[in-house]
Chain A
C-alpha cells in the first residue's frame, strides 16, 4: 500500500489506481525521467538499493513491488 501511495505521488495523480500488470504504456506521465524519479524515490523511502540487472527486468508495477518486497525481506 505504501509503495502505491508513493507512486501516486511520483505521477502526481492521487486518483491513479495502480494494478500489478500496469506498465509505462498505461500511465500518461510514466516516461523516462519519471521512471528515474520513481526508482530513486522507492530506494530512498524504503532504504533499499536496486542493481542494474534487477532494474532492467522490471516489466510492470507488480515486478517492482515483488522486487521491493524481496529486498525488504533481505534487509530484515
Chain B
C-alpha cells in the first residue's frame, strides 16, 4: 500500500539521492559534479548541509519535498514550490546555497563554464508551481505514483492561493520516459533548447532541455 506524506528530516538522505538521480536523468552524468568538479560524495555532504539550513523556494529544501512511502520506507520523491513567490528566483537561492557549502575554489570551476551552461539552461516562469527532482524507485514504476505526487502537491501548495495557473517542469530531452509520462499526464511542451556547444555532453546528460506546462 502506498501513502504520500510531507518529507521529514529522516528522509533527507533519500531526498538527496532523488535530486542526484533526477539530475542524472538515467545517465551517469551528474551535472553538479561535472560542472563543479566534485565527487558525488562531496555533493551529498554539501546538499546535507543545505537541507539543514531549512531554506525555501527551491528543491534544496525539506519543505519542498513529499515522499511516497511503501512498507515504511520512502520509495519515491518529488519537490515543488511556487517560483519566485517571495520575489527571488529559485536559481538565485540555489546558487546562494551552493556558494555557502561548496569550497570557493571548486565554485570557480563552475564560473569558468558559464559559456557552456548558458547554451542549454532554460529559465522557470515566475508564479508557476514548479515540479522538480522527481524520482521513483525502479521497482515501483508504472503504479501512477507521479500522478499521486503531483496531485498531493497541487492540493497542499495551492490551497492558500488563487494566483497560480500553471504547473511547470524542466526535463532533459534525452529522458524519453519522462517525456512520455508528462505527456500522458497532460503537460505540453512550451520551450525547448538545444546546445551545439562542443563540450555540452561532458557536463550534462543531454544537449537539450524542455520546459513543460500544464494548466492547474
* Most chain A beta-carbon contacts within 10 A, residue among B88, B107, B117, B118: B88
Once bound together, how far apart are the Cα atoms of A36 and B107, in whole Å? 8
The B79-135 residues at the A interface (CB cut-off 8 A) are 86-89, 91-100, 104, 107, 110-111, 113-114, 117-118, 121
Q: Mark B121-162, 1 if CB is under 8 A from A, else 0.
A: 100000000000000000000000000000000000000000
Q: How large is the interface on B (under 10, 10 to 19, 20 to 34, 35 or more residues)?
A: 20 to 34
Q: Mark A36-59, 1 if CB is under 8 A from B, else 0.
A: 110110000000000111011111
Question: Number of contacting residues on A, CB 8 A?
Answer: 19
> Contact at B111–A36, with CB atoms within 8 Å?
yes
Does chain A have a CB within 8 A of B73?
Answer: no
Can you offer 22 A-B residue contacts whose CB atoms are under 8 A?
A: A23-B87, A31-B91, A31-B114, A31-B118, A31-B121, A32-B92, A32-B95, A33-B95, A33-B117, A35-B91, A35-B92, A36-B111, A39-B99, A40-B99, A40-B104, A52-B96, A52-B100, A55-B96, A55-B100, A56-B88, A56-B96, A58-B92
Chain B residues within CB distance 8 Å of chain A:
53, 55, 57, 86-89, 91-100, 104, 107, 110-111, 113-114, 117-118, 121
